[in-house]
Amino acid sequence: MGGFASDTFLAALLFGAVTAAIPLLLAGLGEQMSEKAGVLNIGIEGMMITGAYLGFVSAYYSGSFWLGFLTGAAGGVAVAALMALLCVRIGLNQIVIGIALTLGLEGLTALLHHFQFSRSYPRLPAAEVTPIPLLADIPVLGSALFRHHLIVYLAVAMVVVMIWVYRRTQFGINLQAAGDKPAALDVAGIDVIRTRTAAVLFTGGMAGLGGAYLANVGAGLFIPFITNGAGFLGIVLAMLARGQPVWVLVGALVFGGCLSMTTAAQVAGVNIPTDVIQMLPFLAVMAMLVLFGRRASLPAALGIPYERGAR
């Protein structure tokens, strides 16, 4: 047994793809809402690493995965609140603040982790999986797709929730107006700053949750810089998805598949230098940008702080 075609390989590849895709999906769905509302949230990487760190610490001491997810999401929201204050309310440059938040929080979490655990990297126990009855028994696919932690199914369900929010709710309409023509929203009597702030906070929560999943379930431990660009991939996904949540899911699975190639190849005993395989997600980004990037349409007011009456 061995090689790319074996059942073991396929199962490991698919299982890994889903595990790797979930943080990207959460980050991408979160980023999508910010972008719809006109805020380019570059700080999402910082929100993710904060979620990963706080989520891990909280799960490690409490022994509860759910408390870990909750703390991670709360950490992301806290960072997002800072970002919303600086970029939405005060109107500072979104790119500069986003990069500063990301770099600052990567350093801060690494430092805190070092104080707490010195050079040891304690692990969490394996996350409890919730097999979906019947589906989980399908050979290969069952164990790859339907034996995951409950949060995985919830994340996928979020895609449907987001579609509903954007298509059917007043909030969804307001969001799109905030991104495409904020002045129109303002004269219609809705506070643009508040709408955008809500979107940024949501992004923070989703990114924090994604980070906590990445550390607690995906890796089972926290190491500094563990997010390794997952937040930035989330930005790419949101941009390529053109406002459609379902494309974030598709993109996340493609990137997740590339990420899981590394581990899957090792499991299957295929001898390709890991460095080559680790380049795959980034090659995939470039390929997807070349294929679909040209058609990506972004909100007209993306990245432009709103100021009433400015001409």
Which window, 11-19, 69-77, 152-160, 186-194, contacts another protein (CB under 8 A)?
186-194
Instruction: Determine the Cα–Cα distance for residues 157 and 51; give it in Å rounded to an integer.
Output: 21
Instruction: Determine the Cα–Cα distance for residues 105 and 43; give it in Å rounded to an integer.
Output: 9
User: In the bound complex, what is the minimum distance in angstroms from residue 99's beta carbon to another protein?
Assistant: 24
- H or E element in which residue 130 lies: strand 130-131
Judged by CB under 8 A, the residue of 125, 133, 139, 189 near another protein is: 189
User: In the bound complex, what is the minimum distance in angstroms from residue 189's beta carbon to another protein?
Assistant: 3
CA 100 to chain centre: 19
Judged by CB under 8 A, the residue of 168, 269, 272, 286 near another protein is: 168
* End-to-end Cα, the chain, rounded Å: 68
Which window, 92-100, 185-193, 232-240, 278-286, contacts another protein (CB under 8 A)?
185-193
User: In the bound complex, what is the minimum distance in angstroms from residue 160's beta carbon to another protein?
Assistant: 17
By CB under 8 A, how many residues form the interface with another protein? 22
Using CB under 8 A as the binding rule, whether residue 308 contacts another protein is answered as yes
**20 vs 185 by CB, closer to another protein:** 185
Longest CA–CA separation in the chain, Å:
69
User: In the bound complex, what is the minimum distance in angstroms from residue 300's beta carbon to another protein?
Assistant: 8
Q: Which two tokens stand for residue 134?
A: 């019947």
Q: Which two tokens stand for residue 161?
A: 């929730």
Using CB under 8 A as the binding rule, whether residue 41 contacts another protein is answered as no
**219 close to 16: Cβ distance less than 8 angstroms:** no
Using CB under 8 A as the binding rule, whether residue 296 contacts another protein is answered as no
Using CB under 8 A as the binding rule, whether residue 238 contacts another protein is answered as no
Using CB under 8 A as the binding rule, whether residue 187 contacts another protein is answered as yes
Using CB under 8 A as the binding rule, whether residue 185 contacts another protein is answered as yes
Using CB under 8 A as the binding rule, whether residue 141 contacts another protein is answered as no
- Residue 279: strand, helix, or coil: coil
**193 vs 265 by CB, closer to another protein:** 193
User: In the bound complex, what is the minimum distance in angstroms from residue 163's beta carbon to another protein?
Assistant: 15
Q: Which of 196, 290, 293, 200 is nearest to 242 (CA)?
A: 293
Which window, 27-35, 68-76, 183-191, 287-295, contacts another protein (CB under 8 A)?
183-191
| Strand pairing category for 147-148 and 130-131 | antiparallel
Residue 102 CA neighbour count, 13 Å, CB half:
20
Using CB under 8 A as the binding rule, whether residue 271 contacts another protein is answered as no
DSSP sequence for 25-70: HHHHHHHHHHHHTT---TTHHHHHHHHHHHHHHHHHHH--HHHHHH
Residue 306 CA neighbour count, 13 Å, CB half:
29
User: In the bound complex, what is the minimum distance in angstroms from residue 118's beta carbon to another protein?
Assistant: 48
- H or E element in which residue 148 lies: strand 147-148
Using CB under 8 A as the binding rule, whether residue 170 contacts another protein is answered as yes
Using CB under 8 A as the binding rule, whether residue 174 contacts another protein is answered as yes
Judged by CB under 8 A, the residue of 135, 157, 184, 291 near another protein is: 184
**102 vs 195 by CB, closer to another protein:** 195
Instruction: Determine the Cα–Cα distance for residues 41 and 33; give it in Å rounded to an integer.
Output: 10
Using CB under 8 A as the binding rule, whether residue 309 contacts another protein is answered as yes
Q: Which residues bind another protein (CB under 8 A)?
A: 168-171, 173-174, 176-177, 180-181, 183-191, 195, 308-309
